[in-house]
A and B are shown apart, each in its own frame.
Chain A
């Protein structure tokens, strides 16, 4: 019943961690039991974005190596009791993770949670390949920008060849999450449109998150944007994406320039 979902992108800084936290919180708000696992060993940040940085005792590497039991390392969110975090280690390097060890941890997580969200590190090295290895569902986070789209294409190729599901001839659901979209610039032809990116990458669209100051505000405060300001445009986009992940039919509305501008003015006032 449980689903393992990797949030990946290839390129860094496109919004993997923000999206992992926001989607995790949105799924948890909908009553699902969710754990978000940080695979970025050595450069962990999910704890910070989720506001749990002072509560980390044990981490993923401790559990993989048997130094701690899984329940000891899981951090339950203070705002949402159905949301948990499994942080990455800040001091070890990625070689501390083994496929066999991660497989064991994922199996154990499957018994406790409905959704296991794996926040992948950037790149295509071990951390990223292990984060996607056991996935049933993949969310490819992409910015409408050439280097991000190219890297996403590479990652989609890896999802189709390097995951357990792909090797077993099973289907792995892939979704595109377009983030940092600026409708005004897209309308002026300064930024690739949603259709352009969709045509190039050719995977189904999970959602469009427009560029918004609410995202930075939420991460400053250590709260997933869906929890911090549920009415904000990015929170609504993530919440709708989460509903689509749960199988609901929700039409994707491309943000329009006017709304983008208005919400930007609004967001700025709120942040000031």
Chain B
């Protein structure tokens, strides 16, 4: 951002135009329909919650709407207890990563709509 600011001092208008064009392309496509990203988020979380207890406050959802491709990042913090063998067994036969580093932070999942 600062590099952009340095080279194009004062020329913020093209940035405004480009941001609007991308945003409005999405908003026009969505008008009258439900937001796909919101639906995906809800359903993905529901699937995970079937296997692991999730604290809704520890879920980070990031959406980046691009011109060609949009990305949906869902970052879920899982308590160690949830990954403990007992908990996993209680859930379902997993192809489970039983032995993992102490605090597993799942990689963000990327979904391309």
Contacts and interface: CB of A to CB of B under 8 A. Distances in A.
Majority DSSP secondary structure for residues of A touching B: helix
A154 B31 CA distance: 9
Contacts of A186: 13
Interface stretch (B21-29, B44-52, B70-78, B105-113): B21-29
A200 B27 CA distance: 13
A136 to B, nearest CB: 23
Given A153-B27, A157-B28, A157-B31, A200 B20 contact: yes
A192 interface: yes
Given A192-B16, A200-B17, A154 B27 contact: yes
Nearest to A153: B24
A54 interface: no
A196 B19 CA distance: 12
A190 interface: yes
Contact of B12 (A190, A199, A200): A190
Given A146-B16, A157-B31, A192-B17, A200 B24 contact: yes
A150 B31 contact: no
Nearest to B23: A150
Contacts of A196: 13, 16-17
A188 interface: yes
Contacts of A154: 27
Contacts of B28: 153, 157
Nearest to A201: B24
A191 interface: yes
Nearest to A200: B20
B27 A190 contact: no
A193 interface: yes
Interface residues of B, number: 16
A47 B13 CA distance: 36
Contacts, number: 41
B21 to A, nearest CB: 6
A149 B28 CA distance: 13
Interface residues of A, number: 17
A168 interface: no
Contact of B19 (A146, A188, A189, A191): A146
B24 A150 contact: yes
A145 B19 CA distance: 11
B10 A200 contact: no
A188 B9 CA distance: 10
A190 B11 contact: yes
B5 interface: no
A153 B26 CA distance: 12
B14 interface: yes
Given A188-B10, A192-B16, A200 B21 contact: yes
Contacts of A150: 20, 23-24, 27
Interface in B35-60: none
Interface centre among B8, B14, B20, B28 (most CB of A within 10 A): B20
Contact of A190 (B13, B17, B19): B13
11 contacts: A153-B27, A188-B10, A188-B11, A189-B13, A189-B14, A190-B11, A192-B13, A196-B16, A200-B17, A200-B20, A200-B24
Given A146-B19, A154-B27, 11 more contacts: A150-B20, A189-B10, A189-B12, A190-B12, A190-B13, A192-B16, A192-B17, A199-B17, A200-B17, A200-B20, A200-B21
